[in-house]
Chains A and B, each alone.
Chain A
Amino acid sequence: MTGILKKISQINFGLMSPDDIRSMSVTKIVTPDTYDEDGYPIENGLMDPRLGVIDPSLKCSTCGTKGGECQGHFGNINLARPVIHVGFADTIHKILRSTCNTCGRILLTDSEIFDYQNKFKTLIKNEESLTKIIKDVYTVARRDKCPHCEEEQEDVKIDKPVSIVEGNYKLTPSEVRERLEIITDSDSVILGVNAEKAKDGTQVARPEWMILTVLPVPPVTVRPSITLETGERSEDDLTHKLVDILRINQRLKENMEAGAPQLIVEDLWELLQYHVTTYFDNEASGVPPARHRSGRPLKTLAQRLKGKEGRFRSNLSGKRVNFSARTVISPDPNISINEVGVPEIIATEVTVPIKVTEWNLEELKGYIMNGSEVHPGANYVIRPDGRKIRIYDEIKETVAENLEKNYLEKGELGYVVERHLKDGDVVLFNRQPSLHRMSMMAHEVRVLPYKTFRLNLCVCPPYNADFDGDEMNMHVFQTEESRAEAKSLMRVQEHILSPRFGGPIIGGIHDHISGAYLLTRKSAIFNEDQVFQVLRKSKLPLPDRTGKTWTGKQIFSKVLPDDMNMVYRAEVCRKCDECTERSCKNDAYVVIEDGELLSGVIDEKAYGAFSGKILDHIVKEYGTDQAREFLDASTKLAVSGIMKAGFTTSTNDEEIPQEAKEDIEAYLYEAEERVDKLVAAYDNNELEPLPGRSLEETLEMKIMQVLGEARDKSGEIAESYFDINENNAVIMALTGARGSMLNLTQITACVGQQSVRGGRIDRGYSERTLPHFQKRELGAKARGFVHSSYKKGLDPIEFFFHAMGGREGLVDTAIRTAQSGYMQRRLVNALQDLSVNAEGKVTDNRGVVIQTLYGEDGVDPAKSDYGKVVDLDKLVDEMRIKSGK
């Protein structure tokens, strides 16, 4: 950055007086036409050259700068008759209602005025909202009699959008303006219009300025016309609207001068009011929106600012940027979690600006010589005078020579070369929706062939990414400060722990987990050759050959820190009543002593995303560098482990013996019979209702319970035939790699009850779900119980109910994303200004203290141990393992 950085300290808002509007305008606009027959802008027309230019080849006749540099100049239209500004109609109405119709004083007694003035002072001093107190004034100041001049007051009503009616008489804008004019400055303040005179006599607002007598005309830069391919000119919506206003204004003026009858003048006046109203806001209630010739409603001033696509949210709070790229993502288990694979085609397009120094001159020259097409090349050279030179093959030699000559011989400083992205550059990587800060992390570039971004599988959970066609964005930092900041704060390894719950969010997934399990389970014994293959493949240091066989646990211990001590229960733990600890038959009791895995298997609880205990421990005790190394090494190890064992699954994994099938069938029939009995009991009025429930509800609940049990029980029967040692699907379910036991039993045994709106299915035909059933039939099948398993296949009726349940799920997800997205936006907007100050207090931007100590203990959840400062039991366990107790 060069030069002095200026800082904007405040923005003052105010109303423009007619004088302000006239004095800032460069010309009066009179003619409603834009261009003459030759295509030149008409003087005093809406495209008057004095309003500024857009075409870079022209010069602005007001400020003399070229098009593109001239930001434009305002013009003005003198309105033949005053009109009300729509946005202020409500305020005008309330002010008129609160002021005397003769003397113009506010309808409050002197003591009340004094009271409110004091209240205003304190509120303004504390920077608090005035909305409430102003509302209060409007209600109190509704009197039938003026306390100052004793005049009787008539009720003033507003007829949306802009008509103000007193009694039965409709006030014209001129009359309204007259009344507003006589309100004193001090009264205005209490009425919510800051008319206080500053020391230099200027005012930010006056009530009568809410009535327009002169209309500012924005410069052409605000409403550029577009030339279509056919050579036809198409004007901006605002220009169209201004043309309308000018036309009516002209006619109104002519009619008034000609002394036309009152009725005609009033009609035209109303029409002018309509056009000015829609010019400001084309969605004002009670006004038919002005339309384009094609029937599309015009986008006028308010519409330009408002809403998601408006100026504020889409151009000011968020902006389009250069040096960014977007493409499909795909996995690469061989790169580090800190890295991102960038396709060469992108690396040659987005660039990093490098200042030319003595030390990098040769390197940069090399890039220039490579040109803009060959990979480690450069696209532009920026000269000290600010000129940007594109590097072509034809000129690359000269550019390089000039650079060297000017730099070395003339000593010219300030050259910048925009070179291609290369390995090791830091970039920002992002996947929408950016729901939390881990959705944007800094990665190191690895330029790779092909056309997709490559990322390590461990970073899928924080981005919530998969590879079914997801696309992601990349941004290249352009300053050293941003690079430094990103590298120390935003790198992937700094975000292994989620601030949401203080545990790891980056970690092994899917095959990493089943792989580690296959590697570390009890039966995994490897001969030395195999061990060396695995270690070599995962790039771990090779030990000396001894000729002995290895257990998988020994292999995995290679990636654990040497002095690590831990005890925990693995994901495969079945939560037996009595824990046999190290002699657990599932090998679920994990003991790590001095970096040696002594018992237990490695599964999701060890280093999986969301629950990895070992990973969590390493981040917290050994730092993020070690954690990254551990993750890179252990996942590679797991992948080589799974490749040694081989891993496949098919529906054969969900096969059970015939007698099991019969057992399940028998159990399901029995359950369905029980349902029938319940229904029979209900029909015979023998059912006892549960307290606070009707008979029907009780029946439903009981049936749901029986059918739920039926599915669980049939699942249990199937489960008892599943053996983790010979069934890969079960390995995945039990280790937490993918899927659940429920998924498996649904394939094998019974799919279970389908539900819509939280209950059994009860919609469709009158009093029955499908015409295949009796009316009011309440049996299991008639209400969506799917007896079959996925493997056996669903019958048509079951299929239909299953589709109903499935559809509900889809609709649910769609609605949920919209709702939670809006909730998130509101939350972020409400809380974004909070920060921890130097004393540990949480304050907002005004300095209001929200918490005296963050979280009541000053602990950052991202650095805590699942929300706690320390897990005391864990500490004691570690201490005891060390001391050998």
Chain B
Amino acid sequence: MQETIEKVTKVVKKKRAQKIFTEQLIYEIAETVEKRDLDDKELDELVKKVKKSYDRAKVEDGEAVGTVAAQSVGEPGTQMTMRTFHYAGVAELNVTLGLPRLIEIVDARKKISTPTMAIYFEEEFRGDEEFVRTIANQIGKSTMNDIVQDFHVNYAEMNVVVELDMPKIEDKRLDFEDIINRVEKAFKKVKIDNNVLSFEPAKPSIRELRLLADKVRDLQISGVKNIGKVVIRKEEDEWVIHTEGSNLGAVLKMEGVDKVRTTTNDIHEVEKVLGIEAGRNAIIHEAQRTMDEQGLTVDVRHIMLVADMMSADGSIKSIGRHGISGEKASVLARASFEETGKHLLRASIRGEIDHLTGIIENIIIGQPIPLGTGSVGVLMKQKK
């Protein structure tokens, strides 16, 4: 492969196209050369043709790429489904999809409606079901209720007696000691006799006792914060954990977890844990996935532009009055979008100046807009 790449690079240089051909493209050409078994003459012609196509496909100066991107992302919205819940691949988990999800992405919501993670594992653990199950139980939320064999509220003796189900604990790969520690930490008045625990309420009243019973049942004995249910699935000879809820930071710290492929659909979390570039990629990935799932094709470049706009200043900003549109430099642009009064009043006390460089401002005052054919002028030499 390496050889072919070099060969292609040489041909590209010969055709004086090395500046416009991206690395990715050269790689793709090399791949085609190997797959289709091209001879030198054919390669020559191929590169020539690719270069021609490239020249033809270049974006023109002054092109209103922003508007085109916005329209291309927005227009298919009308064709999307409204149904919020749908299973994407994993039948056991609900994930928000369709238009509501797309809106969620461009809104850059802090709290998304269905956060979910896909946790992959490093090479040596991929096929190890036992290991994956252990991790899954560490991540997934289990409560006392999941491991009790017998649960008994004894009104006569004013206590709650819980008999733990050892095989279940075994099955869930939980550590008995750990459970006991957690129980002791959460409840002061508890007697432990092997796998039988008895709890006493702070005050001996029936009300207190019942509250205590609920509290005992709901005591979390394992799991990572913010993560609920987990589902283990075999995807092409490797085990993958899908979760309900998301905590990328904590999961990435766990042993054996593939730091490269493990993802979450919570864009803000990606940004927080991995940085703004990763956040930008998360937006692109999530938006594209939402579109693809609905069978709509939208060019990545449009989604990229939306994502780049949202992350341009180093933090993820929403599309709308609390984000990009609300922070525009022009008073008229802000006033004509939303909250007209607020922006005009604010502009007056701050003595803001509108330089009229944007689109909407120029439309408002009736001048040609600085885009496309309006972005160029004619310069004339003065006659002496």
- A interface vs B, CB < 8 Å? 7-15, 87-88, 91, 127-131, 192-194, 196, 204-205, 210, 281, 302, 305-307, 310, 312-313, 316-317, 435-437, 485, 489, 499-503, 620, 690-693, 701, 757-758, 812, 815-817, 819-821, 823-824, 826-838, 840, 842, 844-846, 848, 850-851, 854-867, 869-870, 872-873, 875-876, 879
**Is the CB–CB distance between B350 and A826 below 8 Å?**
no
**Is the CB–CB distance between B46 and A11 below 8 Å?**
no
- Contact residues in A for B305 (Cβ distance below 8 Å): 831, 834, 842, 850-851, 854-855
**Is the CB–CB distance between B367 and A8 below 8 Å?**
yes
Write the chain B residue with the least CB distance to A312: B336
How close is A495's CB to chain B, nearest CB, in angstroms? 12
Q: List 28 A-B contacts (CB under 8 A).
A: A9-B355, A12-B353, A14-B351, A128-B329, A281-B341, A310-B340, A436-B72, A489-B373, A501-B298, A758-B86, A828-B74, A831-B309, A832-B64, A832-B67, A832-B70, A833-B333, A835-B370, A837-B62, A845-B358, A851-B304, A856-B22, A858-B59, A859-B54, A860-B59, A860-B63, A861-B302, A869-B53, A879-B49
- Contact residues in B for A858 (Cβ distance below 8 Å): 20, 58-59
How close is A475's CB to chain B, nearest CB, in angstroms? 16
Most A C-beta atoms less than 10 A away, residue of B42, B91, B348: B348
How close is A626's CB to chain B, nearest CB, in angstroms? 15
The reply on B169 being an interface residue by CB < 8 A is: no
Whole-angstrom CA separation of A127 from B332 in the bound complex:
15
**Is the CB–CB distance between B309 and A850 below 8 Å?**
yes
**Is the CB–CB distance between A499 and B348 below 8 Å?**
no
Question: Given A828-B67, A850-B305, are A816 and B99 also a contact pair (CB < 8 Å)?
Answer: yes
Whole-angstrom CA separation of A277 from B141 in the bound complex:
56
Given A819-B77, A831-B70, 8 further pairs, Cβ under 8 A: A196-B351, A205-B350, A816-B99, A819-B99, A830-B309, A830-B320, A834-B65, A879-B45
**Is the CB–CB distance between A205 and B349 below 8 Å?**
yes
How close is B128's CB to chain A, nearest CB, in angstroms? 18
**Is the CB–CB distance between B65 and A193 below 8 Å?**
no
**Is the CB–CB distance between B309 and A205 below 8 Å?**
no
Write the chain B residue with the least CB distance to A883: B42
Whole-angstrom CA separation of A127 from B354 in the bound complex:
10
Whole-angstrom CA separation of A436 from B82 in the bound complex:
21
The reply on B156 being an interface residue by CB < 8 A is: no
Question: Given A13-B354, A499-B68, A693-B92, are A306 and B340 also a contact pair (CB < 8 Å)?
Answer: yes
Chain B 304-316: CB-based contact to A (< 8 A → 1; otherwise 0): 1110110010000
Whole-angstrom CA separation of A313 from B335 in the bound complex:
9
Write the chain B residue with the least CB distance to A196: B351
Question: Given A845-B358, A845-B370, are A864 and B299 also a contact pair (CB < 8 Å)?
Answer: yes
- Contact residues in A for B325 (Cβ distance below 8 Å): 826, 829-830
How close is A524's CB to chain B, nearest CB, in angstroms? 32
How close is B68's CB to chain A, nearest CB, in angstroms? 5
Most A C-beta atoms less than 10 A away, residue of B57, B91, B352, B360: B57
**Is the CB–CB distance between A302 and B99 below 8 Å?**
no
How close is B312's CB to chain A, nearest CB, in angstroms? 5
- Contact residues in A for B68 (Cβ distance below 8 Å): 437, 499, 862
**Is the CB–CB distance between A435 and B74 below 8 Å?**
yes
Contact of B66 among A620, A834, A846 (CB under 8 A): A834
Write the chain A residue with the least CB distance to B67: A832
**Is the CB–CB distance between A501 and B349 below 8 Å?**
no
Chain B 68-97: CB-based contact to A (< 8 A → 1; otherwise 0): 111111111110111111100001110000
How close is A7's CB to chain B, nearest CB, in angstroms? 6
**Is the CB–CB distance between A817 and B298 below 8 Å?**
no
- Contact residues in A for B38 (Cβ distance below 8 Å): 876
Contact of B65 among A502, A503, A835, A869 (CB under 8 A): A835
Question: Given A867-B300, A872-B29, A876-B32, are A205 and B371 also a contact pair (CB < 8 Å)?
Answer: no
Q: Which of B184-192, B201-209, B216-224, B228-236 contacts A (4 or more CB under 8 A)?
A: B228-236
Write the chain A residue with the least CB distance to B230: A692
Whole-angstrom CA separation of A832 from B363 in the bound complex:
12
- B interface vs A, CB < 8 Å? 20, 22, 25, 28-29, 32, 36, 38, 42, 45-46, 49-50, 53-54, 56-78, 80-86, 91-93, 99-100, 102-103, 106, 229-232, 244, 297-302, 304-306, 308-309, 312, 319-320, 323-325, 327-333, 335-337, 340-341, 344-360, 363-365, 367, 370-373, 375
- Contact residues in B for A859 (Cβ distance below 8 Å): 54, 57-59, 301
**Is the CB–CB distance between B350 and A11 below 8 Å?**
no
How close is B320's CB to chain A, nearest CB, in angstroms? 5
Whole-angstrom CA separation of A757 from B84 in the bound complex:
9
**Is the CB–CB distance between B299 and A499 below 8 Å?**
yes
**Is the CB–CB distance between B345 and A87 below 8 Å?**
yes
**Is the CB–CB distance between A842 and B306 below 8 Å?**
no
Whole-angstrom CA separation of A873 from B35 in the bound complex:
10
Closest A-B pairs by Cβ, 6 of them:
A834-B66, A820-B77, A824-B74, A855-B301, A204-B351, A194-B351
Question: Given A501-B299, A827-B106, A860-B63, are A7 and B74 also a contact pair (CB < 8 Å)?
Answer: no
Contact of B359 among A310, A437, A833 (CB under 8 A): A833
**Is the CB–CB distance between A13 and B65 below 8 Å?**
no
Contact of B312 among A499, A819, A820, A848 (CB under 8 A): A848
**Is the CB–CB distance between B363 and A317 below 8 Å?**
yes
Whole-angstrom CA separation of A148 from B332 in the bound complex:
39
Write the chain A residue with the least CB distance to B299: A861
How close is A597's CB to chain B, nearest CB, in angstroms? 23
**Is the CB–CB distance between A691 and B231 below 8 Å?**
yes
- Contact residues in B for A313 (Cβ distance below 8 Å): 336
- Contact residues in A for B298 (Cβ distance below 8 Å): 500-501
How close is B27's CB to chain A, nearest CB, in angstroms? 11
Write the chain B residue with the least CB distance to A127: B329
Whole-angstrom CA separation of A9 from B46 in the bound complex:
51
Whole-angstrom CA separation of A831 from B320 in the bound complex:
10
Whole-angstrom CA separation of A693 from B230 in the bound complex:
11
Question: Given A310-B340, A830-B320, are A820 and B74 also a contact pair (CB < 8 Å)?
Answer: yes
Question: Given A830-B319, A876-B32, are A11 and B71 also a contact pair (CB < 8 Å)?
Answer: no
- Contact residues in B for A862 (Cβ distance below 8 Å): 68
How close is B372's CB to chain A, nearest CB, in angstroms? 8
- Contact residues in A for B59 (Cβ distance below 8 Å): 836, 840, 854-855, 858-860, 863
Whole-angstrom CA separation of A857 from B59 in the bound complex:
9
- Contact residues in B for A435 (Cβ distance below 8 Å): 71, 74-75, 78
- Contact residues in A for B106 (Cβ distance below 8 Å): 823, 826-827
Whole-angstrom CA separation of A500 from B297 in the bound complex:
8
Question: Given A824-B77, A872-B28, are A305 and B53 also a contact pair (CB < 8 Å)?
Answer: no
- Contact residues in A for B337 (Cβ distance below 8 Å): 829
Write the chain A residue with the least CB distance to B25: A869
Whole-angstrom CA separation of A836 from B352 in the bound complex:
28
- Contact residues in A for B323 (Cβ distance below 8 Å): 830
**Is the CB–CB distance between B360 and A317 below 8 Å?**
yes
How close is A673's CB to chain B, nearest CB, in angstroms? 24
- Contact residues in B for A817 (Cβ distance below 8 Å): 78
Write the chain B residue with the least CB distance to A705: B91
How close is A704's CB to chain B, nearest CB, in angstroms? 10
- Contact residues in A for B42 (Cβ distance below 8 Å): 876, 879
- Contact residues in B for A91 (Cβ distance below 8 Å): 349
- Contact residues in A for B346 (Cβ distance below 8 Å): 131
Question: Given A692-B92, A820-B99, are A842 and B65 also a contact pair (CB < 8 Å)?
Answer: yes
How close is B30's CB to chain A, nearest CB, in angstroms? 10
Contact of A830 among B28, B324, B329 (CB under 8 A): B324
- Contact residues in B for A844 (Cβ distance below 8 Å): 66
